[in-house]
Structure 1
Amino acid sequence: MKGIGKLTIITGPMYSGKTTELLSFAEIYELGRKKILIFKPAIDTRYSKDDVVTHKMFKMPARVVGKAQEILEYYESLEEKPDAIFVDEVHFFDGNLTKVLKTITLDGVDVYCAGLDMSYLWEPFDVTAQLMSIADEVIKKKAVCEVCGEYNATLSYKTRANGGVLDVGGKEKYIAVCKECYQKIRKEEGH
């Protein structure tokens, strides 16, 4: 019997290299001639409908799913199981993702996930927080603060107040900021 797979979550603010690190792990498995599967949420069509793409445009093909359960259904339909599964933008998935990925790791498959840990309101995304709590490894990334230029940004700040908390976007809507600059911007805007 295969052992239990490892669950790794890569998290942090926008522009911290989460997807880049996720795809680096996927590439390592591929170089080792391992079978992989990459999933992305249907809501994320920023750079490509069918690929997981970094902000620097490195990309790998992905299976697009609307709900977490679709990951498990597709996985269970496979005759040959992969060695690892990679899931990008986990914060866009429903709460069932934790149960789905736990089931897959119990089947002996390594799982790597990437996603924001907090919304632009400095509040945790429940799905990411759940995954962090059951993960074997949590990789918490930082970004360069767009305001002060220091490598200490842990928050994403929404520069355009439209849409809700789950609002897909890039540089046209979000910047990475440190906590001090986040507080300064919020004060300047009267929050």
Structure 2
Amino acid sequence: MFVEPRFNNPSTTHTGWIEVVCGSMFSGKTEELIRRVTRALIAKQRVLIFKPSIDVRYDDKDVVSHNKNAVTSVPVNNAKEIYDHVSECDVVAIDEAQFFDNDLVEVCTELANNGLRVIVCGLDMDFMGQPFEPMPQLMSVAEFVTKLHAVCMKCGEPAQFSYRFDASGEQVVLGESDVYEARCRKCYCEGMKTQKEVK
């Protein structure tokens, strides 16, 4: 998908690219985003971090990991609001990408086409084990994809699923360990089967 840049960043002369960091709940995605952002800041690059305004679990503004590490961010209501802030920037980092609309793919592509490094972090699957848009599309257009794994909270094996105790059909339910567990495939399937039987 070719997206022509709509703005000009004359100070950016290098090639842009997209990095996607994905995985289940509690896999360290936000921690990895903060690590990459910190390295960019040490290199004296101009960095802006964005998060969806609906994510207020730890803080209204800051991006906060489960380990309570934090970086200041700009909360936005939709993907295209990001354009309003990136005229003088080298690196754009976006947390909880699965909570954005599908315009995020176009926005990230355009930013990269304009020479920016774009770091995107989010869940690759929802609680039903289905691809969580727009993450699959972002992964397909990214130069680099890192898939992180948590530890299964039932058996200790590598976990790639986000099991949710709440059996409601809503795709987006904000919560932490009170609502979600990281689980391996076997323990996830067992939990989903039990939920189905209870219904």
Q: How does 1:106-185 map to 2 (within 5 A)?
A: 106-150=113-157, 152-162=158-168, 164-185=170-191
Partner of 2:69: 58
Partner of 1:44: 55
User: Which ranges in structure 2 are unaligned for 5 or more consecutive residues?
Assistant: 1-11
Partner of 2:193: 187
Normalised TM-score (structure 1): 0.94
User: Which ranges in structure 1 are unaligned for 5 or more consecutive residues?
Assistant: none
Partner of 2:27: 16
Mapped pair 1:104 → 2:104: no
The 2-side partners of 1:162 and 1:188 are apart by 14
Amino acid in structure 2 at the alignment position of 1:170: E
- Among 15, 37, 40, the alignment partner of 1:26 is 37
The 2-side partners of 1:128 and 1:38 are apart by 18
Q: 2:163, 2:191 within 8 Å by CA — same for their partners in 1? A: no
The percentage of aligned residue pairs carrying the same residue is 36
Q: How many angstroms does 1:39 deviate by?
A: 0.2
> How many aligned residue pairs are there?
186
Q: How many angstroms does 1:179 deviate by?
A: 0.5
Mapped pair 1:85 → 2:92: yes
Q: What is the root-mean-square deviation in Å for CA atoms of aligned residues?
A: 1.2
Normalised TM-score (structure 2): 0.90
Q: How many angstroms does 1:163 deviate by?
A: 6.7
